[in-house]
Structure 1
Amino acid sequence: MKIDAFRTLDAVVRGGSFAAAAQAMHLTPSAVSMQMKQLERYLGRPLFDRSGQQVRATPAALELVGTMQPALDALQTLRHRTPTRVAGHLKIGMIELLQPLLLPPAITHTRRFYPGLQIALRRGTSMELTEAVRAGQLDAALVARPASGAPSGLEWTPLVRCELVFIAPPNGEPGRGVASSAARERARLPELMRSLDWIRYNRATTTGAMATRFVRGMVPQKRSLMELDSAAAIVAMVHAGLGFSVLQVLNRALFAQYPVRVIPLGKDGPHFDICAVRRSGDVNDRLHQAWTEALRAALAEARLAMQPAAPLITAAFP
């Protein structure tokens, strides 16, 4: 049983819900639920009463937290007291849209706590980087996990759930806020798609393929004006009035630089999980644990930096 499961249990008990634990641990609620079920199977007893609208910790869960917490605290103190023992190289892949947001704080964390850990970075699409991990060319990668068809033999650690959004030129109904008119705007999406050209995000990527399926589901015969693999270029094109797009934009500064109409697609819209992926045999390796810790610290910093923005990133940091 992984130590992280006991930490997650403590977060559930402290926060009172799987959602609160997901935010505290920088996981998706589904990942929290999976860890708790694995822990229950490991112990052979229920840890939660699920009969009501919210789960409630059983006495067994409280006893387990009380037993494990001193050891977990002592272990955490020991890890940070001896950072130089983590030394080595990791070849890491990271999709480009995440690099400005997560790479600086992650490297800052490793320099502070694990100065002996050296990171070599490679960029690419989620599919390319996942295949590189599976083939042993990379030690780990931060990618968008496909909804189906994920390669076997790999360990996927969900970190955050992201939603794709519809963006359109800023002209037209400029005074209406996204929150108050989102449902009405979504009802007009087929009309908007027919009246505007489509600036497509690279369909060879996981998120680009999802966006293509969404658009074609609304307007089956729609063709794109052009296809780009840069979110910044697409937002700039839409800002200039050249068309619409469906994509994920993590760098909210783009919307300040190139104002556009942002229409959330709702709970049934396309979404994906950002995951750390690595080969199953490497899951408990000390270097990988240090890098995952750095990623979670980076996600916490990103959450604080993005809270004033529209809620386009959910679950791990809503």
Structure 2
Amino acid sequence: MASLMKNVTFRQLRTFVEVARYLSFARAAETLHLTPPAVTMQIKELELAIDLPVFDRQGRKITLTTAGEYFLVHAKRMLAMLKDADNAMARFRRLETGLLTIGMVSTAKYFVPRLLARFRVEHPGVDVQMQVGNREQLVALLHNGEVDLAIMGRPPKELATRTEPFAAHPLVFIAPPDHPVMQIGHPPLAALEPYPFIVREQASGTRAALEQFYQEQRRDLRIGMEMPSNETIKQAVMAGMGLSFCRCTPWVWSCKAV
């Protein structure tokens, strides 16, 4: 039997991945700088080439079929391999052009843009894209080849990656300046147990570090609230809603390290 895949183009793969990302032909068209009919045509040609539907269409709502979910994994891998090959050929040509995609945890946004501004001055031909997410999301992006590098607190043990530490990013307990624990000086961990903690979501690296620390110290962690945003946690701590544990970033100065 002749292979159907030989008729699939990389343009169709990229279009398919973008439609799958947004589950929207219109948003994929904006990202790809195409018209919605052109995106629809690319998907139809892809489905003809592989002889399977990749999307279920119900009015304006679309979802991936089972075949589409499997094909998406392979499409991302193929695009990642093509990008690797393009980067390798660029190095042979000694060209400083292309796209650098960086994933980073939310606390890195306080210093990474300054580093990238210097990078752009030294490498003006390189376009840079940034994606912000929690640790779990960044690991998934690395696994799928959707980012070239990721900036996070702890390197992923589940992936074969090369890691390079380049900056200190300490973790601290924080409280409002007028909180009772601030009257103790350097309070022991036991002094924090009566108070609720405002913590990041389960997939966050900061949350994992906090829970691991409490387990190692054999102490009970009282979680009062979960929030997915460091800025929101800052405001909640300043309002006296609880203590927190976070990466030491400039906004911590509005509260106080315990």
Please confirm whether the aligned pair reaches a TM-score higher than 0.5, indicating the same fold: yes
Give the corresponding residue for 1:99.
Answer: 109
Q: 1:137 aligns with which of 138, 146, 153?
A: 146
- 8 Å CA contact 2:198–2:233 kept in 1: the answer is yes
Aligned residue runs from structure 1 range 120-131, under 5 A: 120-131=129-140
Shift of 1:217: 4.9
SS in 1 for 2:211: helix
Question: Could you say what secondary structure the match of 1:90 adopts?
Answer: strand
CA distance in structure 2 between the partners assigned to 1:127 and 1:120 by the alignment: 19
Aligned residue type for 1:133: L
The yes-or-no answer on 1:211 pairing with 2:220 is: no
Partners of 1:193 and 1:174 in 2: how far apart? 11
* 2:165 paired with 1:158: yes
Task: Give the TM-score, by structure 1 length.
Answer: 0.46
1:262 Cα offset (Å): 1.0
3-state secondary structure, aligned to 2:248 = coil
Residues 24-103 of structure 1: pairs in structure 2 closer than 5 A:
85-103=95-113
Partners of 1:169 and 1:239 within 8 A in 2? yes
Residue equivalent to 2:175: 168
Which runs of 5 or more structure 2 residues have no equivalent in the other structure? 1-93
Query: Which structure has the higher relative contact order (CA within 8 Å, separation 6+)?
Result: 1
Q: Pairwise CA RMSD of aligned residues? A: 2.7
Residue identity in the other structure for 1:151: E
Q: Partner of 1:223 in structure 2?
A: 222
Q: 1:223 to 1:186 in 2, by over 3 A?
A: closer
SS at match of 1:144: coil
Structure 1 residue runs without a partner (length 5+): 1-83, 264-318
Percentage of matched positions with identical amino acids? 24
Moved over 3 A (4+): 172-176, 215-223
1:294 paired residue number: none
| Bigger-Rg structure (1/2) | 2
Given the superposition, is the C-alpha separation of residues 113 and 238 from structure 1 closer, same or farther in structure 2, using an over 3 Å criterion?
same
Query: What TM-score do you get using the length of structure 2 for normalisation?
Result: 0.56
Distance 1:255 1:122, change over 3 A: closer
**Distance in 1 separating the partners of 2:182 and 2:110:** 31
TM-aligned CA distance change 1:121 to 1:228, over 3 Å: same
On the 8 A contact 1:190/1:218 being kept in 2, the answer is no
1:4 corresponds in structure 2 to none
Aligned length: 165
